[in-house]
Amino acid sequence: MNEQAILQSAEAWVKKQLMDEYSGHDWYHIRRVTLMAKAIGEQEKVDVFVVQIAALFHDLIDDKLVDDPESAKQQLIDWMEAAGVPSQKIDHTMDIINTISFKGGHGQSLATREAMVVQDADRLDALGAIGIARTFAYSGNKGQPIYDPELPIRETMTVEEYRHGKSTAINHFYEKLFKLKDLMNTETGKQLAKERHVFMEQFIERFLSEWNGDM
């Protein structure tokens, strides 16, 4: 298969697996991240095939989604081998998806420009109007309140606390989302993150003013 055909086939395979997923990692998240990664990748002059295949696969090894991340990784490798992806590109793809997760600020440093592009695309989908919607959807799914003024914002936290500690949708903006604009890797990513950041600040300002009964 040529690269275009491999991408189409990967897309169909991923779509089938994520169709009934509502925790914020649904197929449309993957689609947006893949389109964004391709667009940024073209600006940054990187291997857009690897960028796209890594974007398509990036959440399939997440411990929030699969019970056994190790066997999920092996499945991806097997799929790429069967599709005829060259072994060096398989290694690169696996390296990207193994290293891009945020994990409460405990993320790893990235080895390649391609990894930086995919991470920026994934982070951009946590920002802006979509990011706001996903935060409230995730909170509802986990049974977190939209807001609780009594619950302090956590400045630092372990991976365990980030995943399972008590929080709210509004706290998540301070615990993660507002930090992302300064963590972007690429110039294109930085610019887009800045715009989405401003939009979220306006949203939070308005949310808090309505919360406090302002007219």
- Binding residues for Ni ion (CB under 5 A): 59, 122
Structure tokens given for 29: 């998240």
Token reading at 138: 């995730």
Question: Is 131 an interacting residue with respect to ligand ADP (CB under 6 A)?
Answer: yes
Identify which of residues 10 and 33 has a Cβ nearer to ligand ADP in the complex: 33
Q: Can residue 128 be called a binding residue for ligand ADP (CB under 6 A)?
A: no
Q: How many Cβ atoms from other residues are within 10 Å of residue 6's Cβ?
A: 19
Handedness of CA 4, 73, 30, 100 (dihedral sign): negative
Rounded Cα distance, 197 and 195, in Å:
5
Residue 184 tokens, joined: 């972007």
3-state secondary structure of 201: helix
Q: Please report how close the Cβ of residue 65 comes to ligand ADP at its closest, in angstroms.
A: 9
Determine if 101 is a binding residue for ligand ADP (CB under 6 A). yes
User: Binding of ligand ADP at residue 164 (CB under 6 A)?
Assistant: no
By the rule CB under 6 A, 196 interacts with ligand ADP: no
Going by C-alpha positions, the residue among 198, 143, 136, 201 that lies closest to residue 172 is 136
> Minimal distance in Å, beta carbon 127 to ligand ADP?
9
CB of 84 to Ni ion, least distance (A): 26
Catalog residues that contact ligand ADP under the rule CB under 6 A.
24, 101-103, 126, 131, 134-135, 138-139, 144, 167, 169, 172, 176
